[in-house]
Structure 1
């Protein structure tokens, strides 16, 4: 009897605990959804605050006065939702971003405070050369962001002005002519909006985002008294404020010149994206816009800008791809100036794979591994000078690739950053070929960017995970 009573009491106690547990679970679930709801309301309120803060301000985001013909160069169809859906991107959109470095001689009426100086200061203007040019595709259908860097020295036809460097298109005809020139160069791809940001605004933007943590590939020292440009950075991982980041971005006095600068631009962009594109950034948008608004000219509305930032904050970092316009350096004496010579066939392939250009069945064929140029960059430690001499440790890797049909594999110098995980870089945007190599190796991560060897199709930046897998390759397993 006692035993039965004890058993019943235990069962009753268990049920009571169970009900209490379920009640607490239900209650905590309600609180969870309440918290999520409140967070959503706070985010929408923050974005609405951004809209009001900028809309009520006297300085518009668009500072250029486009004629009707110039405005028609851009696709004016709506890209964001209505009402409470204003933060949603509703279709793929291509944005042409131009970075302006403008000196007093570049403008007709330079500000009075820039005169009578012993040097040429940067001027807050959008009338000069576009020394940085990016075409960025935000695609809600594929959930990807693709960035294509166009070197400023790219040799191309500028309508009505002949064959010149593409950075001159802004001087000749502003954002509309630049967009038309870029579209023609890229096979007729549509350009929906433009953004021009002065170099002075870039530093302010990076400061507003709290600086940026990057790996400086090498010691950088350069002095130009004529522009008050003083670069003095040490190699290694560090957190840079706006002025220091500009030093890293503007340095180009090495063997790769402007192409090396593009690689560092992509490195800084990826770092900024990874640390800044999050819901918190949306709530700080009024502050950020207020900081840089005088240095920005764009035909994006604030609603559209919020939609783009919102899409970026929800995009997986592996779906952010960074490419560079395929081409080569001009040879000495080939032209009257030094150029980046675009390679039309390779450009078309990039645009088909990443920007939706229509292709023929022939152009859609899988690339033969034997035709791919594969660069191996040893990034297992920080001693970049020693790596080319220590080739024996990556011989098994090369042998495995050659066995799989890759005939053009070579060793190239890494830029210094030690990696824990091997990066398989789709240097020319061919992510399928990079993924095939990753499947052969069985380790590493694929990245679509242009930070590898510029003469390669795929660059394998070998990290420390190779050392853990090396024995398997040596035994042939």
Structure 2
């Protein structure tokens, strides 16, 4: 089955797509939730002692909860080994790509809900993996470059599962054909990138993982408030720095009711990733391993073996924060009335460049060096100093950066300036940092969506003046 990226304007395909996903009696409803990153990062940052404990504890418990056919199994690599036994932990033998799927299933989404569900008076979440994916991530663990790359795939990305005839949102792939069809859709969207393994986690597991790991400290950029009585979804977070428990973290990452919708939610995911990574090395994490094990055994479905999981633990424990890159599938929002549904429309040329640079996928497109004057540079000030912003503008102009604009202020007070490679161009971001001689480069998508590079201005710039 071929999966096609967006390639044409509004047509009858939009309506036929609605029909194409009615193969099952009940279609899951959309929702938003946190994905497996927090749990995987937390496990990956444990010491060798904790990793050994994990291996022993899981040695007799299968991680896979679903059964794949031989044809489905063939989607995930060619059976190549990705790990080998090491002295303390298993270790990766080559770069490996893992598809992470976050699934939310409600009692109203299934034909035979648990007894008593109707008496609840709302749509409760189920410990199931058979629904629409609210989160899709492609993770690349590269032991040669010692880098971990995370590609966020918007759930509303427009693709076709039927030779270009029926276009749907990519999050329907798991509902239609499980992890195998999801992997096929992602691979074809991202220029044929191979996918070696998959991992699915449901919303119940996410909350429990965060609680098991002691929560996460994160800066909430603005007041977040939303209520949906039908799902018992209540989001009420105040702006500022907070230590979030599992339920609060879900609120933070499920919120999507602002101008950036699902893309804004992905940006908040990436903010939480950075915060979580900085906390996960805490030695007290080791004492939490038994709770983590319980969640993994009951709320995660994956075709990773125990040895492979241990190899990821070993790799994660040695990965520096600066070597973690977080990307977003390049594209744009569809215009009102352009299609019958709202989509994220992928940009094929920019995808080719990004996949070649970060996932080693061959491309015919030559990567031209972007001149400073052509780069779109956004400034997000966190200092409150108009003088500081103006001096930055002057310095950028003097360094040859001509396409510079002031974007919305960055709400979190920063001591160190963040130079964000919004489109994944770390080289250009590094050159800009060298020109300014201040800040740190972050390859992530938390900046202004229209920019190539976003400068989130911190106090270090003011001290430099």
TM-score, scaled relative to structure 2: 0.86
Q: CA distance change for structure 1 residues 353 and 279 in 2, over 3 Å: closer, same or farther?
A: farther
Structure 1, unmatched stretches of 5+, are 1-41, 382-389, 471-477
**Cα pair distance change 1:333/1:395, threshold 3 Å:** same
Q: Is the 8 A contact 2:148 2:324 kept in 1?
A: yes
| 1:348 is the counterpart of 2:340 | no
1:101 to partner: Cα distance: 1.4
- Residue 288 of structure 1: aligned partner: 292
Give the Cα separation in 2 of the matches to 1:85 and 1:352. Answer: 34
2:139 counterpart of 1:136: yes
- Residue 335 of structure 2 corresponds to 331
Q: 1:353 to 1:335 in 2, by over 3 A?
A: same
Deviations 1:394-453 (A, max 9, x none): 122112212322221100013410100000000000000000100110111000000100
SS at match of 1:449: coil
The structure richer in helix per residue is: 1
Output the CA distance in 2 between the equivalents of 1:224 and 1:269: 26
Aligned pair count?
A: 418
For the 8 Å contact 2:407–2:448, the answer to whether it is kept is yes
The change in CA–CA distance for 1:164 and 1:146 in structure 2 (over 3 A counts) is same
Residue in 2 that maps onto 1:370:
373
Cα offset, 1:393, TM superposition: 3.3
Counterpart Cα distance in 2 of 1:82 and 1:173 = 33
Structure 2: distance between partners of 1:366 and 1:246: 40
Using a 3 Å threshold, how does the CA distance of structure 1 residues 77 and 113 change in structure 2: closer, same or farther? farther
Structure 2: gaps (5+ residues): 1-45
C-alpha distance in structure 2 between counterparts of 1:44 and 1:212, whole Å: 22
3-state DSSP of counterpart to 2:394: helix
1:428 to 423, 438, 443: 423
Q: Which residue of 2 aligns with 1:114?
A: 117
Residue 284 of structure 1 deviates from its aligned partner by 4.9
Which deviations, in whole Å up to 9, do the C-alpha atoms of 1:361-392 show, x marking residues without a partner? x62321122221110000125xxxxxxxx644
The equivalent position to 1:230 in structure 2, one of 208, 227, 234, is 234
What is the rounded CA distance, in whole Å, between the counterparts of 1:278 and 1:181 in structure 2? 38
Counterpart of 2:434 (choices 418, 436, 439) is 439
Show the counterpart of 1:257.
261
Q: Secondary structure at the match of 2:148?
A: strand
Q: Which residue of 2 aligns with 1:149?
A: 152
| 8 Å Cα contact 1:218-1:415 kept in structure 2 | no
Deviates more, 1:76-85 or 1:393-402: 76-85
In the aligned structure 1, how far is the partner of 2:394 from the partner of 2:305? 54
Distance of 1:45 and 1:252 partners within structure 2: 39
Counterpart of 2:42 in structure 1 is none
Structure possessing the higher radius of gyration over alpha carbons = 1
User: What SS does the aligned partner of 1:402 have?
Assistant: helix
Distance 1:45 1:236, change over 3 A: closer
Q: CA RMSD in A?
A: 1.9
Between the aligned partners of 2:74 and 2:285, the Cα distance in structure 1 is 32
Q: Is the 8 A contact 1:46 1:284 kept in 2?
A: no
Residue 127 of structure 2 is matched in structure 1 by 124
Correspondence 1:189 to 2:193? yes
**What is the rounded CA distance, in whole Å, between the counterparts of 2:95 and 2:128 in structure 1?**
30
Cα drift, residue 85 of structure 1: 5.9
For residue 243 of structure 1, the aligned residue among 240, 247, 251 is 247
**8 Å CA contact retained: 2:52, 2:89:** no
Deviates more, 1:283-292 or 1:404-413: 283-292
Partner SS state of residue 171, structure 2: helix
Question: Could you say what secondary structure the match of 1:398 adopts?
Answer: helix
Q: Distance in 1 between matches of 2:107 and 2:436?
A: 54
**CA displacement at 1:126 relative to structure 2:** 0.5
8 Å Cα contact 2:47-2:317 kept in structure 1 = no
Runs of 4+ aligned residues of structure 1 deviating over 6 Å after TM superposition are none
Q: Secondary structure at the match of 1:134?
A: strand
Q: Residue 63 of structure 1: which of 51, 65, 73 is its match?
A: 65
How far, CA to CA, are the matches of 1:133 and 1:466 in structure 2?
36
Whole-Å Cα distance in 2 between the matches of residues 415 and 257 of structure 1? 18
Q: Which residue of 1 aligns with 2:41?
A: none
Q: Secondary structure at the match of 2:92?
A: coil
Q: Which has the higher contact order (CA 8 A, sep 6+)?
A: 2
Superposition map of 1:5-44 within 5 A: none
| Cα distance between partner residues in 2 of 1:420 and 1:446 | 14
Which moved further from structure 2: 227-236 or 303-312? 303-312
Give the Cα separation in 1 of the matches to 2:393 and 2:420.
Answer: 16
User: 2:173 corresponds to which residue?
Assistant: 169
Pick the aligned partner of 2:449 from 433, 449, 454: 454
